Structure 1
Amino acid sequence: MQVRDAAEWAASLPLAQALREGAWLYPVVETVHIVGFAVLVGAVAMFDLRVLGFGRQLPVQALARHLLPWSAGSMLLVVPTGLLLFIADPQSLLANRVFLLKLGLILAAGLNALAFHAGPYRSAAAWSQQAPALARLHALLSLGLWIAVIACGRMLAYF
């Protein structure tokens, strides 16, 4: 099945039709998506800011143990609601460069997080008050990528 065929199939689902035609369903799903995204990006941003040197009195690993479950748990809201928003109008979203950029940025942010946790974070117990330069670079990249994702999500309403 090609992407275009899959998009047409998704758009034909009764749930997709309800999202398009109902007065409340789409706005409720979008609100839950935004709340989940706020928790995700908020937790990531707080952690990234700590890696960058803010709040040095908080141990990095202790903060990670507190924030990472929030960011992971928020995915239980973000992913399903994002898919629901997508099936409401998949053809136009797939033709929208801003949407495709948003997906690429999300992928880049995820790969950055994986590289951070597989790389510099493995030695976090040995970090003194300041994280090493590579860890700070990952944190800066993370913040920039998530801000760009937010900007793309907002711009979808205009493009």
Structure 2
Amino acid sequence: MPLQDAAALAASLPLAQAMREHPWLYPAVETLHIVGFALLVGAVAMFDLRVLGFGRQLPVRALARHLLPWSAGSMLLVLPTGLLLFMADPAALLANRVFLLKLALIVLAGVNALAFHAGPYRGADAWDARAPGRAVLHALLSLGLWIAVIASGRLLAYF
């Protein structure tokens, strides 16, 4: 099934119609989406800032044990609400370069997180107050990517 056909099918579903027609449903779902993103990016940013050297009195792994459930749990808000928002007008979003950029940035942020956890984070117990350069690079990239995701999400309203 071509992507445009799948988009048309998604847009025809009763839930998608409700998202377009009910005056409060889209804004309510969008608000939940933003709350989920705030939880996700807030947890990620706090962890990245620790890797960059802030809050050195907190052990990196202990902070990760506290923050990772928050970032993972935020996906319970971000993913379903994002799908609902997408279903409201999938054809327009698929044609929107800013939306495609946002998706690409999210994928890059995920790949960066996986590379961090598979690489430098494995040695986090041996880090003293400072993380190694490769970990710092991942943290800077993470912060930059998530800020770009937020910016592109906001720009969707203007393009």
Specify the TM-score bucket, using the shorter chain as the normaliser: over 0.9
How far has the Cα of 1:75 moved from its partner?
A: 0.3
Q: Which residue of 2 aligns with 1:152?
A: 152
**Alpha-carbon offset, residue 18 of structure 1:** 0.4
1:153 CA drift (Å): 0.2
1:30 maps to 2:27: no
Q: Which residue of 2 aligns with 1:21?
A: 21
Which aligned pairs between 1:70-109 and structure 2 lie closer than 5 A? 70-109=70-109
TM-score by length of 2: 1.00
Kindly provide the CA deviation profile for residues 60-86 of structure 1, in whole angstroms up to 9, marking residues without a partner as x: 000000000000000010000000000
Q: Distance in 2 between matches of 1:132 and 1:75?
A: 29
Runs of 4+ residues over 6 Å off in structure 1:
none
Question: Superposed, which structure 2 residues align to 1:52-71 within 5 Å?
Answer: 52-71=52-71
Q: Is 1:135 matched with 2:140?
A: no
Cα offset, 1:58, TM superposition: 0.6
**TM-score of the pair, normalised by structure 1:** 1.00
Taking only the aligned residue pairs, the percentage that are identical comes to 81
1:120 is displaced (CA, Å) by: 0.2
- Tell me the matched-pair count: 159
1:93 offset after TM fit, Å?
0.2
CA-CA distance at 1:20 after TM superposition: 0.3
Gaps of 5+ in 2: none
What is the Cα deviation at residue 6 of structure 1? Answer: 0.1
Q: Which residue of 1 aligns with 2:42?
A: 42
Shift in Å at residue 32 of structure 1? 0.4
The separation in 1 between residues aligned to 2:153 and 2:130, in whole angstroms, is 33
CA distance in 2 between counterparts of 1:50 and 1:145 reads 17
| 2-structure distance, mates of 1:63, 1:42 | 13
> 1-side partners of 2:100 and 2:23: how far apart?
27
**What 5-or-longer segments of structure 1 have no aligned partner?**
none
- Report the equivalent of 1:126: 126
